[in-house]
Amino acid sequence: MTTRLAWSSETVLIAPSVLSANFTDLGRDVAAVERGGADLIHIDVMDGHFVPNITIGQPVVRALKRIAACPLDVHLMIEEADRYVDDFVDAGADLLSVHVEVTPHLHRTIAHIKSQGVKAGAVLNPSTPVSSLLDIASDLDFVLVMSVNPGFSGQAFIRQALDKIRRVRDVLTQAGSSALIEIDGGINASNAQEAVDAGATILVAGKAIFGADNAETATQTLRAAASGVVRP
């Protein structure tokens, strides 16, 4: 039941992160953000090794695929990501991103993800240099810039990520790539426009949406903020 995704650098996409949702009623929370106009459902997969937390795996992705109208944006925060790419594709990932820090054969991994008909992304941690993308930029569908250290939701936004986004855009432009830039970590209505101005086109938000009283309204508020519109 996945809808077609408007994949363009001219369009800001909102990706609520279910890491901050109510896991006793994920279906209700996903339905709420979809009513609010979400474009993607962001799913953080953590293994307790690459990051100090354990979250969810393929069964939850598969369950969400059955109920979500939005494409599933699966972010693998795991070691040995190559071993699990096919499993998450089979479970229903529409976008799949892997960390450059733990993927020794990144070109091969990205090529394999794309061969499965899934959009492929590379992820940069806050301390990972943008130069790590130089030899892969032209092959990417998107780059995910972490604006917190990965592992937990609700962390404070690292403002240096804004300059990092600009440098990522420079690398992509020089490579002739139209890849989108995603930002994840501490995104809310107060910094969404700054992220977009810096060059981000996919905004991941967890606590700002699912931590609000009304996830549907919070999704609308974040989109309005990203568009420079002040909502009452």
Q: What is the pLDDT of residues 4-35, one digit of tens each?
A: 577 777 789 999 999 999 999 999 999 999 99
At 192, the pLDDT band (50, 70, 90 cuts) reads very high
Tokens 């903020």 sit on residue? 225
Mean pLDDT of 155-183: 96
Whole-number pLDDT of residue 7: 73
* Distance, CA of 150 to chain centre: 12
Q: Is the pLDDT of residue 3 over 70?
A: no
At 232, the pLDDT band (50, 70, 90 cuts) reads very low
Beta strands at 202-205 and 13-16: parallel, antiparallel or unpaired: parallel
Least confident of 103-117, 149-163, 211-225: 149-163
Report d(CA 115, CA 149) in Å as an integer: 30
With H, G, I as helix, E, B as strand and everything else as coil, classify residue 14.
strand
Q: Is the pLDDT of residue 219 over 80?
A: yes
Residue 60 CB burial class (10 angstroms; 0-12, 13-18, ≥19): middle
Report d(CA 76, CA 32) in Å as an integer: 24
**Percent of the chain whose predicted confidence (pLDDT) is above 90:** 86
Interval 39-71: pLDDT, tens: 999 999 999 889 888 899 999 999 999 999 999
Which residue segments constitute the domains of the chain, with CATH numbers given? 13-226 (3.20.20.70)
- The structure tokens listed for 172 are 């992509």
CB 149 within 8 A of CB 183: no
CB 148 within 8 A of CB 157: yes
At 229, the pLDDT band (50, 70, 90 cuts) reads low
pTM equals: 0.94
Q: Catalogue the active-site residues.
A: 44, 184
CA angle 179, 33, 27 (to 5 degrees): 110
Mean pLDDT of 149-167: 89
Report d(CA 128, CA 126) in Å as an integer: 6
